[in-house]
Amino acid sequence: MTMTTLPIQVQLTETKKPKPDSETLEFGRVFTDHMFIADYTEGQGWHDHRIVPYAPLSLDPASIIFHYGQTVFEGLKAYSSEDGVIRLFRPEENMKRMNLSSDRLCMPQIDEELALSGLLQLIEIDKDWIPNAEGTSLYIRPFIISTEKFLGVAPSRSYRFMIILSPVGSYYKEGIHPIKIKVESDYVRAVSGGTGTAKTAGNYASALKAQQVADAQGYSQVLWLDGVERKYVEEVGSMNIFFKINGEIITPAVNGSILEGITRKSILELLRHWEFPVTERKVSMDEISSAYENGQLEEIFGTGTAAVISPVGELNWKGEKMVVNNMEIGALSKKIYDTLTGIQTGKVKDPFDWVIEL
Ligand code: COI
């Protein structure tokens, strides 16, 4: 892949932080020494691209981001491996999706190639932070915030685009072991025409209440249903969801309210490459429950950048507890996990050209 090199000011830190122990890493608590910043001003476009020491920001309290949440973000990962090569998984897809999210939130488009070039320079500078223990990676969080000082409800006329890096372990404390999920019946995440397909803070803030209730009941996450009929499966909020029923993989079709996950898309491509029967369609909880009762609900797994492949061992729907595959990871989920993480870390050949090597 050829890459445009971004004219970028680099200011390196004088005080490097201690690196965390790779073996005990949590998700998203530790950040590297540097960050990427670019500013946008109406009439001028994006300017002042720079890499600077990681530090708190100074923003006007009236900045639109604090009041009306005009912001978008992305999540992707860089992996270290035994051959010493640093690998990124489909980063151009994240830049493309960030622009789609920005469009929904009336925010300016970034130049995807230049943003990627800035990201690669940042990773090169902080590459010693990429952890190497099994299941760890460098999580990359690009995001754009609205910075205009204004309390009227209108698109901001100034923005800040930033990229921060965090060495991470598993998103769920269960790691690759199955998690328990509660099907949400009281709250909804999104409806078609809303912002469900955009990666924007409001979708995650509005999910917290249901998440908190589920957490108190011993569930890692909630499974959202459609916001109109409260009948059809949508997504888990931090991941998309797949069911293996009677030898076939089924995942909810994207419908205007589900986030179009890059891992979701990759798993669909992988399954089709394996000629495994896979369908994207509406799937109701009634159908899942009958498949369970008939002994046909074989596996459930979630997919996401942070979550990778996360098997679901129990689904609680209105008190009916469906225990899947004896609370053990299913054979197909394991094969997908091994293949995907193998491609991401260079242990498995990448027939799709998904990986960028640094
Ligand atoms: C990701 O998987 O990268 C996400 O952005 C989900 C987030 C809730 C951690």
Ligand 1 mutation target, pool 138, 166, 171, most atoms within 8 A of CB: 171
CB 257 within 8 A of CB 194: yes
Q: Judge if the beta carbon of residue 306 lies within 6 A of ligand 1.
A: yes
Q: Residue 6 has what pLDDT?
A: 61
Place of tokens 């061992």: 313
Q: Which of 203, 206, 238 to mutate to test the pocket of ligand 1 (most atoms within 8 A of CB)?
A: 238
Q: Give the distance (Å) from ligand 1 centre to CA of residue 239.
A: 7
Please check the confidence at residue 331 and state whether its pLDDT lies above 90: yes
Please report which confidence band the pLDDT of residue 74 belongs to, taking 50, 70 and 90 as the band edges.
very high
The rounded Å distance from CA 171 to ligand 1 centre is 9
Closest CA to 223 of 211, 206, 213: 211
239, 232, 188: which is closest to 210 by C-alpha?
188
DSSP per-residue codes, 169-200: --SSTTTTSPEEEEE-SS-----TTSSTTS--
Q: Give the pLDDT confidence of 227-260 residue by residue, as tens digits.
A: 999 999 999 989 999 999 999 999 999 999 999 9
pTM score, two decimals?
0.96
- Nearest-10 crossing angle of helices 112-125, 91-104: 130
What percentage of the chain reaches a pLDDT higher than 90? 94
pLDDT at 175: 82
Helix, strand, coil: what percent of the chain each, to 5?
A: 25, 30, 45
List, for residues 261-304, the tens digit of each pLDDT value.
999 999 999 999 999 999 999 999 999 999 999 999 999 999 99
d(CA 134, CA 140): 18
Compute the CA torsion angle 249, 254, 258, 263 (nearest 10 deg): 60
Residue 271, class by beta-carbon neighbours within 10 Å (0-12 exposed, 13-18 middle, 19+ buried)?
middle
Indicate the top mutation candidate among 139, 305, 340 to test ligand 1's pocket, ranked by most ligand atoms within 8 A of CB: 305
Q: Does the Cβ of 304 fall within 6 Å of ligand 1?
A: yes
- Residue 80: other Cβ atoms inside 10 A: 23
Helix (H, G, I), strand (E, B) or coil at 204: helix
Q: Is 238 in the pocket of ligand 1 (CB under 6 A)?
A: yes
Tokens of 219: 């569930």
Compute, in angstroms, the gap from residue 238 CA to the centroid of ligand 1: 5
pLDDT at 52: 98
Of ligand 1's atoms, which has the minimum distance to the CA of residue 74? 5
Give the number of residues written for the chain.
358
